Amino acid sequence: MKMLVTGATGKLGRKVVETLLKSVPASQLAVSVRNPEKAEDLRARGVDVRQGDFDRPESLDAAFAGIDRILIISADGDNETRIRQHTNAVEAAVRAKVSFIAYTSLANASESQLFLAPPHQAAEKAILKTGIPYSFLRNNWYLENEIASIQGVLAGAPWVTSAGGGKVGWALQQEYAEAAAAVLAGNGHENTIYELSGKPLSQEELVSALGKVLGREVPVQHVDDATYADIMKNAGVPDFLIPMLVEIQQGIRSGALEIESNDFEKLLGRPLTPIDQALSQLVKGIS
């Protein structure tokens, strides 16, 4: 049985591959990457490194040839780009006659109103239409997404948010990677949807845990969206990113990421890393 991970030189993809290599022979593992030079270390360890570009479907035919099980990691970019790229990847998987497709989706994707949802909704629909057994890994929110805010706090700034009382199911990216690896290499995951969410926490609860890690109280500054945008601009965030950050705050405020689920524990076979320990890991990595 041969497995393939797309986007394997990205942050999540790399973690998935490293996790798989702990339990799967390198000879059973292939990766599809835009730039194979970035995966030379994987090739040296026996992984089958293939060139594949979601914008060049013909390259995917070669990349996916002979693959039994595939993990399609969602691409970056604007919604239109991502929809096109995900569709290309799914269609190539069909042509390659893969027997199983796992896909990294978004929390509550089919119902989500979050601005990030359309590419995931389109990908899930495209996969369902193929009739190929699938698993949707509906990832909630990486704790690493908060590194810039944590860095601000370490520099003496308050935690700024316009998300109100909305809750988020934060977890470490490593744990999302381990869950994906468990599904790709495991049995019994056909036609499943996993809502991968940590315990939903408000900004106040997250910052309280961060304060315990730092040994001091961290002030939380609740603001409206316009003020949040101004603060981000003054902090040096590029202009093109600011509307996206504001929409994320709006989505959290509306409850888009407040998902109660124990699917993580099911896939990992253990509890998630407690939030204070997870934050401690990030703080050590930043310091």
Query: 185 — phi, psi (to 5°)?
Result: -95, -10
> Residue 44 belongs to a domain with what CATH number?
3.40.50.720
Same domain, 129 and 22: yes
Alpha-carbon gap, residue 199 to 284, rounded angstroms? 22
Same domain, 37 and 135: yes
Question: Is residue 282 domain-resident?
Answer: yes
Show the domain range for 84. 3-139
Residue 105 pLDDT: 98
Same domain, 134 and 166: no
The runs of H, that is alpha helices, within the chain are: 11-20, 40-44, 57-64, 79-95, 117-130, 147-154, 173-185, 203-214, 225-234, 242-253, 263-268, 275-286
> Residue 259: CB partners within 8 Å, gap ≥ 6?
107, 108, 140, 169, 195, 197, 200
End of a domain among 98, 117, 139? 139
Residue 287 pLDDT: 73
Alpha-carbon gap, residue 85 to 286, rounded angstroms? 33
Question: Is residue 178 domain-resident?
Answer: no
End of a domain among 139, 157, 188? 139
Residue 34 per-residue DSSP state: S
Same domain, 93 and 156: no
Bridge partners (DSSP) of residue 50 are 32
Do residues 123 and 86 lie in contact, with contact meaning Cβ atoms separated by under 8 Å?
A: yes
End of a domain among 89, 122, 139? 139
Same domain, 18 and 127: yes
Question: Is residue 179 domain-resident?
Answer: no
Same domain, 230 and 88: no
Same domain, 54 and 12: yes
Token pair 């381990």: residue: 178
Same domain, 216 and 120: no
Question: Is residue 177 domain-resident?
Answer: no
Alpha-carbon gap, residue 89 to 222, rounded angstroms? 41
Same domain, 12 and 114: yes
Which tokens belong to 237? 């965030």
Residue 271 per-residue DSSP state: P
Question: Is residue 51 domain-resident?
Answer: yes
Do residues 49 and 31 lie in contact, with contact meaning Cβ atoms separated by under 8 Å?
A: yes
Same domain, 122 and 149: no
Same domain, 17 and 70: yes
> Residue 4: CB partners within 8 Å, gap ≥ 6?
29, 30, 31, 32, 50, 63, 64, 67, 69, 70, 71
Alpha-carbon gap, residue 227 to 230, rounded angstroms? 5
Number of domains in the chain: 2
Same domain, 122 and 157: no
Question: Is residue 190 domain-resident?
Answer: no
Instruction: Point out the residues of the chain with pLDDT beneath 70.
Output: none
Considering only CA atoms, which of 35, 73, 34 is closest in space to residue 55?
34
Question: Is residue 20 domain-resident?
Answer: yes
The widest CA-to-CA distance across the chain, in whole angstroms, is 56
Alpha-carbon gap, residue 193 to 267, rounded angstroms? 12
How far CA 124 is from CA of 6, 135, 156, 166, in Å, comes to: 16, 9, 42, 26
Considering only CA atoms, which of 250, 136, 237, 185 is closest in space to residue 3?
185
Question: Is residue 266 domain-resident?
Answer: no
Considering only CA atoms, which of 9, 62, 58, 67 is closest in space to residue 33?
9
Residue 241 per-residue DSSP state: G
> Residue 149 belongs to a domain with what CATH number?
3.90.25.10
User: pTM for the complete prediction?
Assistant: 0.97
Q: Which helix (H) or strand (E) holds 47?
A: none
Residue 53 per-residue DSSP state: B
